[in-house]
Amino acid sequence: MGVGKGTIARAFFKYSGRFSIDTDDLIESITKKKVKTIFKDEGEAHFRDLEKQCALWLEKSITNTVISTGGGFYRQENIKNIGKVVYLKSSFEGILKRINDAPNTKQKLAKRPLLKNLDEAKKLYNTRVKEYENVADFTLDVEARDIEEILKELTSMCE
């Protein structure tokens, strides 16, 4: 939901040489539709089914790869079979600040249908935080931290 999963995954690839896949990008490539369009036209349940198919493929096909996932991907039953789960932690306010401070704020907001209603997004965030912490093998606090610092800590988690 805007914590920087994709940004950190791409930076980690450059930093470590580990291949990186973004599940939302993968779903968009397969369906030839943007995530926001899938949500709008076919609903969240359909999108979660696509995530499930993606998770099954990742489990069978991918190793030694950083996988950046959408915010609801943690619910996939086989997530622990895919690999180690790192929760990138930030406050809701920190996420909004990160998005609003970005040079492409409008694009970032347009890609996140769940942020259209901030009150609902905050409720969702509060629910998910506890669930993320339960699923995660590691928690990495990314709020207001330099990317180099984040990448060094992430590297030590992956060893």
Domain of 95? 5-158
**Four-residue CA torsion sign, 73, 86, 155, 91:** positive
Residue 101 and residue 136: Cα distance in Å, rounded? 28
For the chain, the domain total comes to: 1
Higher-confidence residue: 103 or 142? 142
Q: Are 106 and 87 in contact (CB under 8 A)?
A: no
pLDDT in tens, 60-99: 999 888 898 988 899 999 999 999 999 999 999 998 888 8
CATH number of the domain encompassing residue 97: 3.40.50.300
pLDDT in tens, 105-139: 777 666 776 777 889 989 989 999 999 999 999 99
Q: Is the pTM of this model over 0.85?
A: no
Helix, strand or coil, per DSSP, at residue 144: coil
Rounded average pLDDT over 27-53: 94
